[in-house]
Structures are given as C-alpha cells and as structure tokens.
Structure 1
Amino acid sequence: MGNWQWWLRNQIRRFRESNASQRVRYFFRRHLQTPRRLALLLCSLLFIFYCLISPRNSLEQTVSQLCLEEKLRSYDEDLKNFSIARDSDSVYFAGNGYIGLGEDGLRVAAGRTLSIQTGFRPQVHLKFEGIAEIKQTILSDFIKGKLIRVQCFSVDGECVCATTTTLVHRTRKNILMEEIKLTNPTKSTIQMQMYREESSHWKSE
C-alpha cells in the first residue's frame, strides 16, 4: 500500500470517529428526511450553480440598454395608451394612401392599394465608428404615421442617443421626410456615417 493510500484511509477513519461525522449524519437525518426538503436543497444548489456560470450581462442590464430605456421614458404615456407600439408589437410601415414605406422598401399606389413595389429603400441608416455596443428599438406612431428608430450607447459614462424619424406626409401625397437627431452630452467627438441600403432594382450613378 502506498503512502498516499495509507494517509487517505487514516483521514477517513479519523473523520468517522470525530464529532464532525456525527454532526453531518444528524443534519441529514433531521433535515432531509422528507422528499420536499431534499428537492428544495437541490433546487437551491442548482440556482447557485446557474448564477455562477451565467454571463454577467444576462444577470444585469448593460449600460447601453439602460441608456435606451431612459431615452424611451418620453414615450411611456403613448406606449400605455397604445398610440405607439414598440419592437415586436410595432408595424414597420408608414403611408398616406399614395406612397408607403415598409420593410420591402418604397411602395406606390395602383388604384386603391399600395401594390407597386419599387424596390427603392430611401431610409437612411447610421453607423458609429469605434462603438462596440449599440442598443436600438423601433417604434410605430399610429396616430402621426411615423416610424421611429432610437439608438443609444455609452461614451465616457454618459448616454449618447440618435433618433431617426421617418414620416410620410399626410396632405402632400408625394413627400417622404426623414429627421435625424443626435444627442451627445459628452466632450468626445462622435464619428457617424449615414448610408442607404442597396436597392437591387435601382442603379446608382
């Protein structure tokens, strides 16, 4: 028998003879006699294990997400009365009966419906240089016929947000407007690029 085997057996014998062994046996006999208590202990151990292995971002909101939620507080009242919808509840479309803008680009009317797909994507998208994490949401304003994209991220511990509002004019039937507002309370310079998605049926010059 090796030295380590002799040492291990010796430690096991000492544990069995000690008060610690008796205390452990007493604990299990008293507190884990019923299946309910045993199940509760197992659930507690599994929860602790889950908290240890889960990524930090899954347990707490990121700074960029907090910036976005703070920015969206101005829309709380409209969200509560359902005049504005957010993300999966929103409808990505704005139109006036003559022209309309949706996920498939610009549509124009043929008769009483916006059935002609032009393939043209007029919306402007924003790209920020050197920003690792950007949180965004899409809002549909059903009353005013607007599509609103809100993008937020953190710079120097402060929130920088860009709001892109797309509006199809209700009285001037062929006018589509887009407004971009950038809020930067920091002293840092933000490099921003604007671009449009390529339209497969349109040729650029």
Structure 2
Amino acid sequence: MPPTDERLTDGGLAPEGRGRVLVIACGAIAREILAIQDASRLDHLDLQCLPAILHNTPDRIVPAVEAAVRAAAGRYASVFVAYADCGTGGLLKAACERLGVELIEGPHCYSFFEGNQTFAGRDEFTAFYLTDFLVRQFDAFVWRPLGLDRHPELRNLYFGHYETLVYQAQVDDPALTHKARDCAQRLGLGFERRFTGYGDLAAALREL
C-alpha cells in the first residue's frame, strides 16, 4: 500500500537520518532500553521517551505517540513504538498501522517483560504486578495517585481482589527486591519475585 500523508515517507530521508531508527518509548522502560542498546551495541537507535505518567491516563497515549511519529517523518529510516497496547483498547495498534510504524507485541509491559507466550499461559487474575520502574516509583505512580497516603481505608477497594504482588525484576538488585517486598506488605498482599530480565523487549529491539 502506498504511503498516506500520515505515514513516514519511504526513502525520503535527510542524510543525517539515513539508516537510523527512532524508538518512541514509554518513559517507564527508558532505563531498560538504554541497557539493551548498550549491551547489544545498537548504535543506530535513537530513543525518544514520552512521560511515563501517561499510563495513568491511557487515552492520552495515542495522541502523544501520533504526534511524536509525525514529528519524526522524513528524519529516520524507520520508527518503532516501544509501547504495547497499554490500556488503549487496540487504538494504539490501529494508529501505528495507519502511520506505517511497528509497535511491540503484547497487552502491556508486564507481558512482554515476562515473554508474551509465557505470560498468556499464566491466567493470573489475582496478581498485581510491579516492574523495576514501578518499584522505584511506587509512591509516585501507585500509592499517592490512588490516595492511599491520605485514605488507607481505600486499600480494600482497590486491592481487595488481589492476593499476590508479583515483582518482575529486570535486574538482580537486592535493594529493589527489598523495596518490592515492602510494597507488598503495605498493600497487604503476598509476595513473589520473578527475574524476567528484558524479555521480548530485548528481542524486538535487536531485530531493528
């Protein structure tokens, strides 16, 4: 299908962008993308991060990604969107198809960090997930936005149907594990740690 006005122009690259790939990513996985880039020497990738807090308002993710993709038109050989569906109800995938760019497979980062195939087979309806980023930013992204710092009685409203906090560890850091365990205690949940590494994210970036 020929490019539409929204699609990145095929081959119409500025000389400085020839052969380079722009990764438009959620800020919550910036540290992991940079680690993969360094370890695999993916020097042809440029990273642009959108605010991680967009996950608290998924309806804002699609417009932000669309704007970033359009701004990159003509400057890169290709653009890759390092978001999964992330609560957009399929709208992000549809937007990426319309714009002619790829995005990482999966419903959310918890899935692609563990591996989409593995995660899909778990059927864990009573697990609350944290990644390294969310452990570090637990108060800013979970505790305070939900009002639990002011109204601890809301705990049962939000977390009454959960049984276990599953910490998906991207790096082996005892301090993060200790903090994740503390997060579970604060929420009144059991605790499980899984070392996932970078999961499908690493493979997706290397294929670029």
Taking structure 1 as the reference length, the TM-score comes to 0.21
Taking structure 2 as the reference length, the TM-score comes to 0.21
Higher strand content, 1 or 2: 1
Higher helix content, 1 or 2: 2
Q: Based on CA coordinates, which of the two structures has the bigger radius of gyration? A: 1
